[in-house]
Amino acid sequence: MEHIVFLDSDTLVADLRLPKFVHQWESYPATVAEDVASRLKDATIAITNKVALHREVLVQLPKLRMIAVAATGTDNVDIACCRERGIVVSNIRNYSVHTVPEHVFMLLLALRRNLLAFHADVRNGEWQKAKQFCLFTHPVLDLHGSTLGIVGYGAIGHAVAEIARAFGMQVLLAEHKGAADVRPGYTAFEKVLEMSDAISLHLPLNEVTRHLLSAKEFLRMKPGAILINTARGGLVDEKALHEALVSGRIAGAGFDVLGKEPPTEDCPLLDIDMPNFILTPHIAWSGRSAMQTLADQLIDNIEAFVTGAPANRVA
Catalytic residue numbers read 232, 261, 282
Residues 6+ away with beta carbon under 8 Å from 233: 205, 255, 257, 258, 259, 260, 261
Residues 6+ away with beta carbon under 8 Å from 80: none
Beta carbons within 10 angstroms of residue 94's beta carbon: 14
Cβ(48)–Cβ(78) below 8 Å: no
Strand 147-151 vs strand 88-90: parallel, antiparallel, or unpaired? unpaired
Cα dihedral 108, 112, 116, 117, rounded to 10, equals 160
Side chain identity, residue 178: G
Cβ(254)–Cβ(107) below 8 Å: yes
Q: How far apart are the C-alpha atoms of 57 and 135, rounded to whole Å?
A: 58
What angle, 0 to 180 degrees and rounded to 10, lies between the N-to-C axes of helices 115-123 and 99-112?
60
- Measured in degrees and rounded to the nearest 5, phi and psi for residue 177 equal -60, 130
Continuous segment of H or E residues that includes residue 279 = strand 277-279
Query: What is the b/e burial string over 51-66, where b = at least 16 CB atoms within 10 angstroms of the residue's CB?
Result: bebeeebbeebeebbb
Cβ(109)–Cβ(267) below 8 Å: no
